[in-house]
Each structure stands twice: as structure tokens, then as C-alpha cells.
Structure 1
Amino acid sequence: MDIPAAKGFSTLPSDCDALLEGSPAILYATGPGWWRNDLHYVSHNLATLIGATRAQLQSTPGWWLEHVCDAQEVEARLFAGLAAGESRIRLYYRIACANGRVRYMQDDIMVQRDATGDVLELIGSLADISETQVALTRLEALADSERHYRFIVENVSDAILLMDADGECRFASPSIQGLLGHRPETLHDRGLLGLLPPDDAPRVQRLIHDAARHGEPLRMELRMRHRLGHYVWLETCCSPYLNPASERYEWILAVARDITDRKHREHRLHELSTTDSLTGALNRGAYLSCLRSGLEAADHVSQRVSLVIFDIDHFKTVNDTWGHAAGDLVLACVGEICRTALRDQDVFGRIGGEEFSLMLAGQSLNDAALLAERLRKKFESVRVEFHGEWLSFSVSFGVAERQSREGVESLLHRADMGLYAAKHNGRNRVHQAPPQPI
């Protein structure tokens, strides 16, 4: 049974529009054709919401569907529900308002049927859910963003760390376990500076503090202790977060990657460029550089430094008699004996063909002479096998202790004079150079 539009409007109470004026919902009633030439009633507050009046809809009944986005899909959902005998149908769709703005609508439709089940009337309640939809869209975007960031954080090979102003870890990405052997949760609330070598922690702490104070990013190379005890070289990029209200930094974001292999290659290249491959001693340039640095360091702490210069006696005879291959074996033997006998802080250099030098920090003239004598006896007693023959050799030593702020050239000269005296007095001996006259 069709209800004419005029009858539909007239059957509602006269004060209905006044009651609905302040309501956020729009009420309407249509025939079975919904908004297609079958409008019975629509409340006046429609104009407030979408900018279309009742008169517009009466004169142009198809206005509504013309402004519904994806109208065919929306109608298909409605008519499928009607065909299925549903008594209540909820539709979601977008509609373009008169001002061009698109709103999201929730349309709750109650279906009135006759005794045979035919549709008589559709009574709908429209609600503007644009703000809710925008909020949901933002939440979905945030959820997607969080999933994206989590995916990145959990799968990037670099370790991502978040520290507070006290250096305590507040977050560690899963990749930290592959990097340092620690599960992320075991680092939470733990001071990360404690994983640094004790002698390097002050430097790193100072660099981070300076970067945070100036609000500048920081890139540095450092070592951190692996769970198994060894140290791993890391290249770390730190970004401080400065609270604009307090003007104090609250967080440090650090991204770290393993550069241990690179550092080992650099160290090897440095060794190749500074070390004599035959004897394992520093080459002349590297040794003299260490000697200058060592004397400067000794000046700061008023430390003694002694120097030993020695060379192989009659080395030319070894080469002339047995060949350079035999001479190389003798040189290699000297290098091996020295590297075995010296302390970690002692500096061993090859400063000439068969001439070597030792810088002994913290050692007196007598200490250096005793070491030289032990080495002399060891060289004297050793035999080098060469094609079934056993070669012997001896070494002469000159020893000098540095005088107050004595320069490199002067100290080398006095030790060299001691070596000259040892050679002059018969070789295979240790000679202590006298102090330089003041």
C-alpha cells in the first residue's frame, strides 16, 4: 500500500518538527523505494546537517541518492536486507553536503510490512558519525603506524636503545640480543654506561652530555661489553630529546650497529703500515712517533723513561756467508725473543737494517741495563737452523736513561753512543751511556 507524500507529512504531530529541531538525529519516512520518488516525511533539522531543505527534497526527490557516495552499493545492501525479510537494517555511507563537505552517516532503518510481508514504509534515523569515523580512521592509522614502527624496530639489524637522562635503558629492540647477547628485557632500568670499558666511560658520558646540552645529534664509535665478556665495537648515532618546558633533555635515542669487523680490518691495515712484517717490531716512523708521544706523556706524570738501542754483531758476515734468507731468519729470531720478553707497555721498534730500539717507560738506567743483559744472554745462547746448519749470533746494546725533559734526538744520540762504545769495547756487551753534561 503506497502512502502519498502529503499524507505522510500530515499524519505526524504538528509539534514534531519543533521537538526534533535540536536533535542530532534526522528522522525520515519513505515508501519501499526509499529515496526514489517516495518520500513521506523528513525532519526540518536536515538543513542544519547537510544544507538541504525539505522543500528541495520534495521538489527533487532524487537529490539524496545523487549525493550519496557509492549509492548503488548502498542501495544494493538495503534491498538485499528487504528481500531477506529483515525488520531493521543499518547502513553506513558517505554523503556530499550542499557546501561540498562529505559527512559519514549511520542510517538505522525500521521496516514496516503488511500482513503478507510486503514493505509498506521505511522509517529511518540518520546520525552524523563523521567525528567518530575520523577518530576511528586516526586510530586505525595510529595502529597501522605502530605496527609499521614495531615491524621496523623488531626486524632492523641495528639495535635501537632509548635511555633516560641518567643513562638507564628504557627500551631495547630485539636486535640487541644478536649484538651484545643480552635479551632486551634484561637491560631495562639498567645503566648502559656500565657496559662500557671503565677507561672509556667518562669520554662517552661527556660526549653525550655535551650533545644533549646543545640539542645536537652525536655520532661516535665505542666499545660495549658482550654478555660473554668480550667487547664489541659499535658505531652509535645518538639523538637527544630536549623538553621545551624544562629545557632539559629527558631521553636519548641511540641507534647502534656492529663495526667490529671493520675495526679489526682497520687495525690490521694500521699494523701493516706501521709494523715490520719480518720481526713484528714497529717500523722506524711508527716507533719514533710512539717515542715522542711517550716522552710527552712521561712529562705529565714525571715518569722515568729509558732507551735501549741494539744491533746484531757482524750481521753483514751472516748475509755474505749464508745469504739474505739466513739473515732474515736471524732478524725474525731477534723479533720473536724481544716480543716474548717485553712488557705490554714497552715499545719495540726496528730503526735500521739490523738495528733495533726499546722504549721502557717507568724504568731506570739500571733496570734497562738488566733487561738488556738478559736479552744479550738469550741471543748469545740461541741457535738458528738454516738448511741443516746451526747459526749463532751476538748482539751489542747501548742504554740511556732520559734526563729531565730531554728531547728525542738527544736521548737517541746518547743511547747510540752507548751502542758505539759497546761495539768499540769488543761487542756482545751492554754499555750504559753516561748522563749528558749540564
Structure 2
Amino acid sequence: MNMNMNAQATENLELLRRFERLSEQLPGTLYQCRLAPDGSLDFPLVSARMRSMFGIDAEEVMRDPQRFLSGIHTDDIDAMWRSLQRSALKLEVWYHEFRYCHPQGDTRWVRGHATPQRERDGSVLWHGFCEDITQYKRSQLALRESERRYRFIVENVSDLIVLMDADGTCRFASPSVSEVLGYVPEALEAHELVGLMPPDDAPRVQRLLHEAACRGETLRLEVRVRHAKGHYVWLEASCSPYLSPLNGRYEWLLAVARDITDRKRRDMRLHELSTTDSLTGALNRAAFMGCLESSLESANHTNGRLSVVLFDVDHFKATNDSWGHAAGDLVLACLGEVCRTTLRSNDIFGRIGGEEFALILNGQSLQEALVLAERLRCKFEQVRVEFHGHWLNFTVSFGIAERRRGESMKGLLHRADMGLYAAKRLGRNRVQQAS
């Protein structure tokens, strides 16, 4: 009998030694915890890692549970007891995080995990494992603080911040989108933002964004975006891609944009003032010649049709001499008004001299240009201008030429000018095509 007891004791001791050797290889503490029917708590078994984690020898904890329990942070002890009692009542796995005041003076975060079982005497025995998660908690708290700071910035910055995926679908829009574009952020999420751009702009912007993102470069551009009320807003945007470290492809595109509508309006107004004749609303000579050069290059490239019309006011010097320059200006202003209300939106109207004007008619044949010029001539002929109680009238002569293949701008203008010269020579107030 004694031999059997000694053998059993030896076997138990060997098992304990194996348990200790195994527990030393683990990053935390293995333990058994028992809750008696009278509510008392004790630790039948604790691994040697207790010393390194909690600063207490395992034997002390098994002998006096208060040595460990007294170290639990006072703000966490109640929650600890509630979680144990809930686990004991339902025999559910216990899982809890708490702070522990280490004897060295620092506070550590501990995560406990244990499986309960009911004993014959009604007590509950947990088999569990504790690990130190202080670094994880600090990182987690630092991340939360960082997120809190960034969220505060994003939610209060006046610029619009948008995050898109590689397909151009909006995944996040800052609250400032309400102020800038009139949408609530949720209305934009899961939608492709290029759909808010004018159809003529969207393909170009999409291509520029894709090319810059594939190169991993930040793209700065000015775009028009439709406001919730229907009008367009000019935005100055800086778009930065996020490249995946795994495959080098871009996964996200961050756009930070601000409303520059007022600035664009000022710029366009300044451009208009620098290129437009204030009296007639026509382009000035330099701007008109630039448009004619571009139109000719395009027509030569596509072999499209283009006609030029030159015209001026008949006997304009006599009007100035008889009634003064104020009357002459009134005549020119009236001429400009008739042109602006008669011409198509893509017809280009310019003032190239004192009383000399010109039209660029893209896509128009010589015959179509003749019809338009005749319509203008009739309107000018019917106009009466009131000047200090007197009614003034005026007529206009026209010269027309259609682009020939390979013809220079100088050559085209010369032929139209010869048509105008012929109209003057043949009696004025007429439309004459170039030879």
C-alpha cells in the first residue's frame, strides 16, 4: 500500500515537473482557479511564470490568493468578479481584460481566458491562461488616439476629403462635402465620382487620374463637379494614390479638394477682358487670330470645312465726321449686338480693326457662309440707331472665303479680303465670295 502511494506521489511529482517545464515555454501563466459555494476564490495550480508576469511566486498565490487579487486595479475588480460569476452561473468560457498593479510600480494589462467545469461539491473550477497584453493595449490606445485626432481634423477641415478605390468608387467623403457640393457624405459613398463631372471632362480626368496613379505620382488638377442643386463648382484637387506593397498596384486614391469657383470666375473675367473688345463683345485681333490658327490646324488635320467672313461698316468715317465718335461707337455696339444674337454658339466673332470685323465658321461651307452673311447684311440694313433725337442707319459689306486644302492662314484671309474689296467696289452693302 505504501509502495503504491509512493509510486503515485512520484508520478504526480513528475507530472508537475513536466507541467512546469511546459509552462516555462509559454508567454503567459497557466493556472487553475476555483470558486467555492461560499464565494471564496483560490488557485489550486499556478505555473512558475507567475513571478515574471505578476511579481509574485506561484507558491505564494496558491497559499494565499489575496496576494494576487489585491494587485488587480481597483477600477477593474468589480468587473472582474461579475465576469467570473457570470461564467460560473452559465458555465461559459471566461474571457476578460483587466489592469494589474505590479509590485515594481507599473500598471500592466492582462488578458485572461479559462474554461469552467462544475465540481461535485458545487464549486466551479477554471482551467486557464493569462498573458501580458500591455504593449498591445498601449498600441491600441495610441491608435485610437491617433484615429480620434485624424477624425477631428477630417471632420473640421473646410477642404473636401474623398477616398476612392481603384475603380473610382467613393468609399469615404468628409462632412465638408455638404458645404462644398451640397451632398450628405452617405449620398456619395459607393458611387463613381466621375459621374458628377461634365460628360466632356470625365474621360480626360479619368485617364489622367489612372495614369498618375499607376506611376504612383500625385496629380494636381482643376475640375468641374456638379453641385447637388444642379450647377457646376470648380474644384482644385490634389490626388494621391496608395500603392499596394504586395503587387505595386494602386488600391486607393485620396483626393483633397477646395472650392475655387470664385477664383475661376475672376480669372475667366480677366481673360475675357484681355481678349474681348468691350464695345462690341467681339474677340480682339490677337485672340481672333489665335482662334483662326487653331481652327485651321484642326480643319487641315481632319480635312473639315471652314469658312472665313470679313466685313466692315460702309462709310463709317463719314458717320464719325458727321455725328462724332460717340455716334460711331453706338453703331459699332449695335453691330456687335446683332452678331451675338444671330451667330451660333461655336461661331467665332472678332474685331480686327476699327470698323473691321471677321467670323470663323467651323464646319461651314462657302454656300452656308453666304447664307449667314446675307442674313446679317439684311439685319444691319434694317437697324436704326437713335442718337440724341436723330435716327442713324448703316450698311455693311462682306467678303467670304472657304478654306482650301493646305492653304495658309495668310492666304485664306487674303482671299476673304479680296472678296470684301470686291463688295466695296461693286457698290457696298453686299456679300461677295472670294475668287
* TM-score, length of structure 1 as denominator length: 0.71
- 2:243 aligns with 242
- Counterpart-to-counterpart distance in 2, 1:376 and 1:93: 99
- 2:182 aligns with 181
The answer to whether the aligner puts 1:137 opposite 2:138 as a matched pair is yes
| Residues 310 and 357 in structure 1, CA contact (< 8 A), matched pair in contact too | yes
- In the TM superposition, residue 95 of structure 1 has moved relative to its aligned partner by 6.2
Greater Cα offset, 418-427 or 296-305:
296-305
| Residues 95 and 104 in structure 1, CA contact (< 8 A), matched pair in contact too | no
- 1:387 aligns with 388
Q: Deviations over 1:35-61 (max 9, x none)?
A: xxxxxxxxx9998579999xxxxxxxx
- 2:358 aligns with 357
- Counterpart-to-counterpart distance in 1, 2:340 and 2:52: 93
From the superposition, tell whether residues 347 and 105 of structure 1 become closer, same or farther in structure 2 (CA, over 3 Å).
closer
| Residues 379 and 393 in structure 1, CA contact (< 8 A), matched pair in contact too | yes
From the superposition, tell whether residues 295 and 93 of structure 1 become closer, same or farther in structure 2 (CA, over 3 Å).
same
- Counterpart-to-counterpart distance in 1, 2:99 and 2:143: 26
The correspondence of residues 409-420 of structure 1 with structure 2, limited to 5 A, is 409-420=410-421
- 2:93 aligns with none
Q: Deviations over 1:140-190 (max 9, x none)?
A: 322222221111111111111111111111111111122222221111211
| Residues 180 and 226 in structure 1, CA contact (< 8 A), matched pair in contact too | yes
- 2:173 aligns with 172
From the superposition, tell whether residues 94 and 325 of structure 1 become closer, same or farther in structure 2 (CA, over 3 Å).
farther
- In the TM superposition, residue 223 of structure 1 has moved relative to its aligned partner by 1.1
From the superposition, tell whether residues 156 and 130 of structure 1 become closer, same or farther in structure 2 (CA, over 3 Å).
farther
SS in 2 for 1:182: coil
The correspondence of residues 226-305 of structure 1 with structure 2, limited to 5 A, is 226-305=227-306
SS in 2 for 1:246: coil
The answer to whether the aligner puts 1:427 opposite 2:408 as a matched pair is no
- Counterpart-to-counterpart distance in 2, 1:104 and 1:189: 44
- 1:337 aligns with 338
| Residues 162 and 170 in structure 2, CA contact (< 8 A), matched pair in contact too | yes
One-letter code of the match for 2:421?
A: Y
- In the TM superposition, residue 406 of structure 1 has moved relative to its aligned partner by 1.1
- Counterpart-to-counterpart distance in 1, 2:52 and 2:102: 17
- In the TM superposition, residue 207 of structure 1 has moved relative to its aligned partner by 1.1
From the superposition, tell whether residues 371 and 171 of structure 1 become closer, same or farther in structure 2 (CA, over 3 Å).
same
The correspondence of residues 31-430 of structure 1 with structure 2, limited to 5 A, is 103-104=106-107, 131-430=132-431
Q: Deviations over 1:67-103 (max 9, x none)?
A: xxxxxxx9xx9xxxxxxxxxxxx9965765xxxxx74
Q: Deviations over 1:6-50 (max 9, x none)?
A: xxxxxxxxxxxx99997969xxxxxxxxxxxxxxxxxx9998579
- Counterpart-to-counterpart distance in 1, 2:355 and 2:99: 97
SS in 2 for 1:276: coil
| Residues 350 and 359 in structure 2, CA contact (< 8 A), matched pair in contact too | yes
Moved over 6 A (4+): 18-23, 44-47, 49-53
Q: Deviations over 1:349-398 (max 9, x none)?
A: 00000000001111111111111111111111111111111111111111
- Counterpart-to-counterpart distance in 1, 2:51 and 2:347: 93
| Residues 95 and 105 in structure 1, CA contact (< 8 A), matched pair in contact too | no
- Counterpart-to-counterpart distance in 2, 1:45 and 1:251: 45
SS in 1 for 2:277: coil
One-letter code of the match for 1:219?
A: R
Instruction: Report sequence identity in percent.
Output: 62
- Counterpart-to-counterpart distance in 1, 2:172 and 2:54: 49
Greater Cα offset, 232-241 or 352-361:
232-241
SS in 2 for 1:358: strand
| Residues 219 and 235 in structure 1, CA contact (< 8 A), matched pair in contact too | yes
From the superposition, tell whether residues 105 and 345 of structure 1 become closer, same or farther in structure 2 (CA, over 3 Å).
closer
From the superposition, tell whether residues 382 and 253 of structure 1 become closer, same or farther in structure 2 (CA, over 3 Å).
same
From the superposition, tell whether residues 146 and 403 of structure 1 become closer, same or farther in structure 2 (CA, over 3 Å).
same
Greater Cα offset, 148-157 or 343-352:
148-157
- 1:12 aligns with none
- Counterpart-to-counterpart distance in 1, 2:287 and 2:361: 16
- Counterpart-to-counterpart distance in 2, 1:233 and 1:242: 28
From the superposition, tell whether residues 91 and 377 of structure 1 become closer, same or farther in structure 2 (CA, over 3 Å).
closer
- In the TM superposition, residue 419 of structure 1 has moved relative to its aligned partner by 0.7
C-alpha RMSD over aligned residues: 3.0
SS in 1 for 2:371: helix
Q: Deviations over 1:244-280 (max 9, x none)?
A: 1122111111111111111111110100000000000
| Residues 104 and 130 in structure 1, CA contact (< 8 A), matched pair in contact too | no
- In the TM superposition, residue 405 of structure 1 has moved relative to its aligned partner by 2.3
| Residues 105 and 130 in structure 1, CA contact (< 8 A), matched pair in contact too | no
From the superposition, tell whether residues 141 and 410 of structure 1 become closer, same or farther in structure 2 (CA, over 3 Å).
same
From the superposition, tell whether residues 220 and 210 of structure 1 become closer, same or farther in structure 2 (CA, over 3 Å).
same
One-letter code of the match for 1:306?
A: S
* TM-score, length of structure 2 as denominator length: 0.72
One-letter code of the match for 1:344?
A: S
From the superposition, tell whether residues 227 and 94 of structure 1 become closer, same or farther in structure 2 (CA, over 3 Å).
same
